[in-house]
Structure 1
Amino acid sequence: MAYSIPFYPGEVSYLAARGAVWSTGRGDPQYRIKRWQPGGDTTLVVETRRPPVSVPTAERDSVIDMMRQMTSNMGVGEWDWSRVPSTKPAVEAIFESAEGNLWIGTPSNGDGILFDVYSRDVSYLGTASLGPGLNLFEQVTPVVRGDLVWLIVTDELDVPYVVRARIAPTG
């Protein structure tokens, strides 16, 4: 079995329809996404300087307790639990809509799912949010066509649901 360090910022990547790759750097907790061509150079960097989202103390402690119990049951010695970050990775998902808009999944300070949306020319279009109590099921990339989005989410019991939602402007 292999387990990763909870809340550690792993690489998030997406292979776009036109062959470019959007990705974050492994271990980089910042909101920094590069567009690059395989075998080529980085052609664009999207970066935002928003403050990091803290992992609630109770959530971090709960994850550490679970990991401590698992490693103890497996006969593994004590880990350095200070390596478990106290902030969430700034980028959780990357994908493009059918129209070529870039969607960046980010953690929220509250509950719910946030997506920063950029046009094809990477102009910021706004932030889309999906209601509280849901988590993105990251193994399946959401699909966005026009003002509709289909995604798989899980509730507090990790039960998966397919959600179809209409994207509506606020204000």
Structure 2
Amino acid sequence: MKYCWFLILACAACSPGSAGPNPGSAGLATAIDSTGDTIVARLAGEVPASAVRQLTEEMRIAPAADDTTLFTEVWEFDVDRAGRIWVYDGPTNSIFLFGADGKLIRRVGRQGAGPGEFNANAGMVVLGDTGLAIWDPGVGRISILDSAGIYRVGLAIPTNFSTSDGLLTDRTGALYRKLPVALPREGEVIGRIGAVRLRPDGSHGDSLVPPDLRSIPETYLAERTSKSGSGRSSMGSQFSASNFWAWHPEGYLVVADGGKYEVTIARQVGKPVQIRREMAAVPIGAAERDEEQARIVDQMRRTDPSWTFHGPPIRESKAPLSGLVVSRDGRLWLPVAVPSERIPDGELTKPRRPEAPIIHFRMPVVYEVYEPTGVFLGRIAFPKRTRLIEADGDLVWALVRNEDDLPAVVRFRITPGLLGPSH
């Protein structure tokens, strides 16, 4: 078989005849093999520190600790096409709608079970008309709000299962729920989660099942049986290799094998794309492994007080990927393993329960970003206590917490900007 290779250069100005191995400003070159049934994008090596991008803050919504007029605890927020931000406040079960300038437009809903009221939030999605859909398992309803936050209609939904971020949508406006679509494997409490399309009346339609990558994450299981009932819980190590899937706004699944740094983009049109990345292993020190083991024991003893550590040992190196996010512009954001840092004594967090261990290590948040074609765009370092929520082009919206754990909604700009057709 004859192999045809193309070298994609993520650089500011590449002429059509460019063919050298220069990785450009992105820091890595992407080699594309399109000869087989799957388009394979291969990358290897480390991104130079000089090519790592940063986030520059543009706008912040941060209520003071004694401010009761705004949100106090952000359970979720979404950004519509107008740049407005819908923030769900958990303690009040209400939504705060902010303009792109960060100014409050209005407060939507309140605690309750009636139309326009909320008991819980298991997922919100922005609709094409800049309205909002919110899945409330507390009342078994998906509420559809218009662009002003006014309640339009509700869909009755079975409440037999719910999970965080449990509602999805695509560019056509169709709604999907995250539900178990496969039986549990050994060590799992529930089976694989997939996407189930909702019909206009709220009933379940076709389902999209993520492929079984056949790599079972290292899992720890605790069970308890007593006269008052039984309990069962499981968890994995934060360093273990896991499988991930995310929903692409075009209406298909993107899956990742975190142990291999292998991502498959199952496009609806054209060949699927697979990203295969080789990077150096990131070791875990003995003190950090001991601390992770103590954390697992503490969590398992909440189900079984006599639980002792057993099962797979804590890994000596981190899995290369710890998650998968697809932004609304269709780009892939992959959090990658980097060396942990020791938390300064002045920043240590005292556990809420005295028996829980104090955590002394944290891993900086670093993402590698790709086009859905598999082309590498760059590596981005996030500030401390910053969690990615949404991205579009060079804009990033994140939930940021200060030293007192108070939340802020922040819009950043990537500096220098990413390149590519989504720019």
Question: Common fold, TM-score beyond 0.5?
Answer: yes
Match of 1:9 among 241, 245, 268: 241
Out of 350, 368, 391, the residue aligned to residue 144 of structure 1 is: 391
- In the other structure, the counterpart of 1:162 is 409
1:64: which partner in 2?
A: 293
Give the deviation of 1:70 after TM superposition.
4.9
Give aligned-pair identity as a percent. 20
CA contact (8 A) 2:370 2:378 kept: yes
- For residues 159 and 4 of structure 1, the distance between their equivalents in structure 2, rounded to whole angstroms, comes to 27
Contact 1:64 1:81 in 2 (8 A): no
For the 8 Å contact 1:151–1:164, the answer to whether it is kept is yes
1:22 alignment partner, one of 232, 246, 254: 254
Instruction: Tell me the SS of whatever aligns to 1:127.
Output: strand
For 2:377, which of 108, 114, 125 is the aligned residue? 125
Read off the aligned partner of 1:15 and give its amino acid letter: W
Per-residue Cα deviation, 1:34-90 (whole angstroms, up to 9, x for no partner): 12269xxx82211110012223322221121233355566223541452x2222221
- Cα distance in structure 1, aligned partners of 2:289 and 2:403: 16
Q: Secondary structure at the match of 1:18?
A: coil
- Worse-superposed segment, 95-104 or 148-157: 148-157
Does the 8 A contact of 1:16 with 1:95 survive in 2?
Answer: no
1:76 aligns with 2:307: yes
Residue 165 of structure 1 aligns to a residue in which SS?
A: strand
Structure 1 length-normalised TM: 0.75
* 1:112-157 Cα distance to aligned partner (Å, 9 max, x none): 21111112422111111113x3364xxxx62112321012255788
Q: Comparing both structures, which one devotes a greater share of its residues to strand? A: 2
SS in 2 for 1:68: helix
Q: Matches of 2:407 and 2:284 in 1, distance apart?
A: 23
Which of residues 327, 348, 360 is equivalent to 1:97?
Answer: 327
1:36 aligns with 2:288: no
Contact 1:12–1:91 (Cα < 8 Å) also in 2: no
- Structure holding more helix per residue: 1
Q: Distance in 2 between matches of 1:37 and 1:88?
A: 29
Structure 2 residue aligned with 1:107, among 329, 337, 342? 337
Residue 102 of structure 1 deviates from its aligned partner by 1.9
1:13-52 per-residue CA deviation (whole Å, 9 max, x = no partner) reads 1010112211123xx51211112269xxx82211110012
Q: CA deviation at 1:94?
A: 1.9
- The separation in 2 between residues aligned to 1:156 and 1:93, in whole angstroms, is 25
Gaps of 5+ in 1: none
Amino acid at match of 1:52: A
Kept in 2, the 8 Å contact 1:101–1:120? The answer is yes
Structure 1 residues 101, 68: closer, same or farther in 2, change over 3 A? Answer: closer
User: 1:100–1:88: structure 2 CA closer, same or farther, 3 Å change rule?
Assistant: same
The alpha-carbon distance between structure 1 residues 145 and 158, as it changes in their structure 2 partners (threshold 3 A), is: same
User: Which amino acid counterpart does residue 12 of structure 1 have in structure 2?
Assistant: F
Q: CA RMSD in A?
A: 2.9
Return the alpha-carbon distance in structure 2 between the equivalents of residues 66 and 20 of structure 1. 36
Secondary structure, counterpart of 1:12 in structure 2: strand
What's the secondary structure of 2:318's corresponding residue?
coil
Structure 2 unaligned residues grouped into runs of 5+? 1-231, 341-362, 418-423
Distance 1:161 1:130 in 2: 15
Q: Letter of the aligned partner of 1:75 in structure 2? A: S
Change (3 A) 1:12 1:160: farther
**1:167 alignment partner, SS class:** strand
Task: Find the residue that maps to 2:233 and give its secondary structure.
Answer: coil
Q: Alpha carbons of 1:77 and 1:116: their partners in 2 closer, same or farther (altered >3 Å)?
A: closer
Task: Tell me the secondary structure at the aligned position of residue 288 of structure 2.
Answer: helix
Q: Is the 8 A contact 1:24 1:33 kept in 2?
A: yes
Which residue identity lines up with residue 119 of structure 1 in the other structure?
E
